[in-house]
Chains A and B, each alone.
Chain A
Amino acid sequence: MPKNIDEYLIEKGLFITAISSVVIILLIIVFIFWEGYPAILNIGFFDFLFGMEWSPSNDLYGIFPMIIGSLAITGLSLLMAIPLGIFCAIFMAEIAPKQMRKILRPTIQTLSGIPSVVYGFFGLIVLVPFMRVQFGGTGFSMFTASIILTVMILPIIVSVSEDAIKSVPSEYKEASMALGATHWQTIKNVLFPAAIPGIITSIILGMGRAIGETLAIIMVAGNVVQIPSSIFDPVRALTSNIAIEMGYATGIHYNALFATGIVLIFMILVLLVIANYFHYKKKVTVGGGYL
């Protein structure tokens, strides 16, 4: 029965392509660990993670200021992107007239498609000089980087939150409106609470993108290895560290940059696990759960 053998081979072939993403992710993790592990052994886990000095020429490899740098830039950009993003998502899902929606959707798509270097470039030639004039200093700062990142993560927060709000069963909205609630009361008391798991997912996805962004941040953040004492201080993110120094790193320095990559992967994995938790929770709440 050759027909069945064909079918069998096709299924196996498809299976191999299906597991390719698992194989790739494992390969990536193995290779990054393989190259990064010697550095952690050599430097020491705590000295690497919590060391305050990064000075390859003096054999000092502490990434703590950059962990703080990454988290600070991400946190500040989330602070700006979350309210704007959620409001914009509600606007698109509930308020905007049809014509406006037709403009907004491609706008969001284009914003998410623009290369990060273009954002960085825009930041470098427009935002940095602006900041220099407005707030003094060089203009390269954690704040400048956060503004650029805000624009970059806005599309994710808007589109995922919009989906979440739209997927709230319309019966809830109708029930609330039929009771004489205003549209805003309905949004605040019914739609928003029901969409929270999806909205949290959107925030986590945005956070992942912010932590992972590299070149746009390099172009505007100033890249000084220090724990910022104000939002107008220059900072260096973990990603930037890798991209800036990989070009000339050798020996333990080279391994230390891969070890920086391990820390990044770890952060992203933690975020993914949290996102999956909320995704799972969302499924439960729809099927008769509790808010």
Chain B
Amino acid sequence: MHRIISPKIAQKVMKLIFWISGIITILILLVIIGYVILKGMPVLNLEFIFGDPIDSGREGGIFPMIISSAYVTLIALLVATPLSMGAAIYLSEYASEGKLVAAIRFGAETLSSIPSIIFGLFGLAFFVIYLDMGWSVLSGGLTLALMALPTILATSEVSIESINKSYSEGSLALGATKWQTINRVVLPAALPGITTGIILGMGRAIAEAAAILYTVGAALAIPISIFDPARPLPLHLYILATEGISLENAYGTAAVLVIIIIIITVVTNTLVDRYSKKMMGR
């Protein structure tokens, strides 16, 4: 037996393949984002962003959808943030590893892998029908809260755990109680990481459509009360595209969504960068 390809050639060929794979990945993103934004640009103007939809979205703007998205996302974060932060603090500072903690972790893990349409089904059965909240901003927001929870939890837990134990030992040694220590020493240090988690959760809530398909309704008007039905951006895009209502407005809506996601990515990256630089003492 002798080798067919020399190691040096194999090295060159594989390096080329790796480069190609990396470039393909970047190209995929550029093509999708470029296409959506280029096609959406002509539609994107103040009238589109601040206007009301006319004729079920065939004409006019998407202002009520932007408000709807902001509204459901706000509710989702208001509910998910305290719950997941509390859980993250408990898991990283109080809990001792055991069956219960394993169960909590498995629960959070399961929650983050459940398909969004299942959340939609649950939201429909539980919030909309059982709790009689109807198709509303509240039902949709709560459903999204359940989806954002594991994201915020995981990121917060990691950032709290990465805080050097000597900080809290320093505080405890000064006679501070455990909670004082967490509140004044650990949490401020972990804040950038927690913020990143919240922004990621926000991204997940803003992008989601399947979970709110049967919980938030599809109203075209601006929702005022939390019991009003609404139509967040992804849902609007889905309806415009699948019902063939207006391709132009669908492009515009998709472009707005993509721009929001890009902004979120840039903001989280800047936060993480600045945070890690600060931690390195530069």
Direct contact of A and B (CB under 8 A): yes
**What is the interface size of chain A, counting residues whose CB is below 8 A from a CB of the partner?**
89
A25 → chain B, closest Cβ, in Å?
A: 5
Asked whether, in the complex, the Cβ of A154 is within 8 Å of the Cβ of B28, the reply is yes
26 A-B pairs within 8 Å (CB atoms) are namely A7-B179, A31-B130, A32-B122, A87-B18, A91-B21, A95-B18, A103-B26, A106-B265, A110-B261, A111-B28, A114-B257, A115-B206, A115-B209, A117-B237, A117-B254, A120-B241, A122-B35, A182-B8, A184-B7, A243-B120, A243-B210, A243-B213, A246-B121, A246-B213, A247-B214, A268-B110
Residue B150 interfacial (CB < 8 Å): yes
A100-129: CB near B (< 8 Å → 1, else 0) gives: 100111111111011111111110111000
B94-135: CB near A (< 8 Å → 1, else 0) gives: 110000100110111111011111111110111000100000
Residue B250 interfacial (CB < 8 Å): yes
B135 → chain A, closest Cβ, in Å?
A: 11
Residue B67 interfacial (CB < 8 Å): no
Asked whether, in the complex, the Cβ of A258 is within 8 Å of the Cβ of B28, the reply is no
A8 → chain B, closest Cβ, in Å?
A: 10
* A10: B residues at CB distance < 8 A: 179
B17-55: CB near A (< 8 Å → 1, else 0) gives: 111011011101100110110000000000000000000
A69 → chain B, closest Cβ, in Å?
A: 15
Which of A107, A218, A276 has the most chain B CB atoms closer than 10 A to its own CB?
A107
Chain B residues at the A interface, C-beta cutoff of 8 Å: 7-8, 10-11, 14-15, 17-19, 21-22, 24-26, 28-29, 32-33, 35-36, 82-87, 89-91, 94-95, 100, 103-104, 106-111, 113-122, 124-126, 130, 146, 149-150, 153, 177-179, 203, 206-210, 213-214, 234-235, 237-238, 241-242, 247, 250, 254, 257-258, 261-262, 264-266, 268-269
Bound Cα distance A28, B113 (Å): 13
* B121: A residues at CB distance < 8 A: 32, 35, 242, 246, 257-258, 261
Asked whether, in the complex, the Cβ of A214 is within 8 Å of the Cβ of B210, the reply is yes
Q: Given A91-B19, A184-B11, A261-B121, is A113 in contact with B261 using a C-beta cutoff of 8 Å?
A: yes
A153 → chain B, closest Cβ, in Å?
A: 12
B24 → chain A, closest Cβ, in Å?
A: 6
Asked whether, in the complex, the Cβ of B242 is within 8 Å of the Cβ of A17, the reply is no
Asked whether, in the complex, the Cβ of A268 is within 8 Å of the Cβ of B114, the reply is yes
The residue that A24 contacts in the complex, of B14, B116, B149, with Cβ under 8 A, is B149
* B35: A residues at CB distance < 8 A: 122, 126
Bound Cα distance A2, B133 (Å): 40
Bound Cα distance A14, B156 (Å): 14
Asked whether, in the complex, the Cβ of B110 is within 8 Å of the Cβ of A272, the reply is yes
Asked whether, in the complex, the Cβ of B117 is within 8 Å of the Cβ of A261, the reply is yes
B149 → chain A, closest Cβ, in Å?
A: 6
Interface of B is mostly: helix
Asked whether, in the complex, the Cβ of A272 is within 8 Å of the Cβ of B122, the reply is no
* A14: B residues at CB distance < 8 A: 86-87, 89-90, 94
Residue A3 interfacial (CB < 8 Å): yes
Bound Cα distance A247, B120 (Å): 12
* A21: B residues at CB distance < 8 A: 87, 104, 107-108, 111, 149-150, 153
The residue that B209 contacts in the complex, of A11, A87, A117, A125, with Cβ under 8 A, is A117
Residue A96 interfacial (CB < 8 Å): yes
Q: Given A84-B25, A96-B22, A121-B250, is A22 in contact with B15 using a C-beta cutoff of 8 Å?
A: no
Q: Given A24-B146, A114-B261, A121-B241, is A15 in contact with B94 using a C-beta cutoff of 8 Å?
A: yes
Bound Cα distance A264, B235 (Å): 22
Asked whether, in the complex, the Cβ of A124 is within 8 Å of the Cβ of B241, the reply is yes
B243 → chain A, closest Cβ, in Å?
A: 11
Bound Cα distance A286, B251 (Å): 49
Residue A281 interfacial (CB < 8 Å): no
Bound Cα distance A271, B110 (Å): 10
Bound Cα distance A3, B213 (Å): 48
Q: Given A114-B261, A271-B113, is A6 in contact with B179 using a C-beta cutoff of 8 Å?
A: yes
B48 → chain A, closest Cβ, in Å?
A: 17
- Add 19 more A-B contacts to A17-B82, A187-B14 (CB < 8 A): A7-B179, A17-B83, A20-B83, A20-B149, A22-B103, A32-B125, A35-B121, A88-B21, A109-B265, A109-B269, A110-B261, A113-B264, A115-B206, A117-B209, A118-B234, A118-B237, A154-B28, A205-B113, A265-B114
